[in-house]
Amino acid sequence: MEIVLYEPKIPQNTGNIIRLCACTNARLTIVGKPAFNMDDASLRRAGLDYYKEISIQMFEDWQQFEQYLLAKNKTLKDLAFLSRFGKRVYTDYQYKNDQIFVFGSETEGLPDFLHKKIQEECPENLLRIPVSNRCRSLNLANAVSILIYEAFRQLNFPNLLLTLDAQSNKEIPLS
């Protein structure tokens, strides 16, 4: 699985997502310029020592990322996007083992040009997490966690350790 962050703004969120990627074997991709230095102490603190365990792929802009997708024979229709403007609840989407999730920035969400493309090409891939009418959205790191774990749940948690063996106290993978 791959998590794509579009121009993230808060280093602590990205650090938490780095840790999530290490714990789920997901890849992390950042598209556009983050609003912080990737060596930021807050980023490293939130990511703990997991920061060293994953490689982060970075693309200058969305066009460069689309070239990467084309090289992988992927299109927008293969991606799942999260937005408070999505019409489909994230649990109603059928995730794949090689799912690519795209999240906008904490302050602006997905950019307008991308929203427009999604609406034209694959509006069914624009997902939302239900929240009360008192808030606009969840914290980015929390939203990423919710979606990736829903995908893993649907796929029966492939390659993740699910339980401990009572006698040996060792973790046992489900599959």
Percent of the chain topping pLDDT 90: 68
At 119, list the tokens: 């609406």
Write the pLDDT tens digit of every residue in 38-56.
Answer: 775 766 655 556 667 788 9
Q: What is the pLDDT of residue 46?
A: 52
Residue 73 and residue 143: Cα distance in Å, rounded?
Answer: 27
At 70, list the tokens: 């084309």
Maximal C-alpha separation, the chain: 55
Q: What is the pLDDT of residue 162?
A: 66
At 42, list the tokens: 């807050």
* Domains of the chain: residue spans and CATH: 2-173 (3.40.1280.10)
Q: Which residues of the chain have pLDDT under 70?
A: 40, 42-51, 161-175
pTM confidence score: 0.88
Alpha carbon of 145 to those of 60, 70, 123: distances in Å?
25, 27, 22
Q: What is the pLDDT of residue 152?
A: 94
Residue 115 and residue 113: Cα distance in Å, rounded?
Answer: 6
Q: What is the pLDDT of residue 93?
A: 97
At 130, list the tokens: 């239900």
